[in-house]
Amino acid sequence: MSRIGKRPVDLPSGVEASVSGQTISVKGPKGTRTFTATDDVDLKVNDGAVSVEPRGKSKRARQQWGMSRTMVENLVTGVTTGFKKELEISGVGYRAQMQGNTLKLSLGYSHDVNFDVPEGVTVTAAKPTEIAVEGIDQQLVGQVAANIREWRAPEPYKGKGIRYKGEYIFRKEGKKK
């Protein structure tokens, strides 16, 4: 039995959920999100909470049970508080700045990297060495942060590059004479 799937997802005040077939739509102060569950689970809205139940005892139904409940919880979290990923830039001359809807990165290449921010995500560069990616879709926020980090991943010898805030970089020792 899924320990995660058993718990209902509570809907805070100001959040509405509606189910039509296998699609659940959650509306809150930050926007509206939808999720379509597989045919292996049932979605129900009762007394300010969303519950997910498996439609059988098959292995796939049990797998989808906990995953679907987590996806519904992520919808509720996204429309109430949103998701945020913070990146840090370290390295001499490495910096970032926003120009309209484009993130301009100076990362030691012969040219500046222009990263176009997709719709549904807001990117801010409060300091030249800090980037914040925010939005209501957890998958999209994480993917945009990963795409920015991909331009110059942290290297193990000097630790230069773009890293997630709080990420530990395993440092290596260089050559010895």
CA dist., res. 80 & res. 177, Å (int): 57
pLDDT at position 176 is 85
Decide which of 3.40.50.300, 3.40.30.10, 3.90.930.12, 3.40.50.720 is the CATH code for 83-164: 3.90.930.12
Do 35 and 43 contact (CB within 8 A), yes or no?
no
Enter the pTM of the model: 0.87
Q: Is 140 exposed, middle or buried (0-12, 13-18, 19+ CB in 10 A)?
A: middle
User: pLDDT means per 10 residues in the chain (177 residues)?
Assistant: 81 90 91 91 89 90 90 92 94 92 93 93 94 94 95 92 93 87
pLDDT at position 3 is 81
Domains 3-80 and 83-164 equal at CATH topology level: yes
pLDDT at position 130 is 94
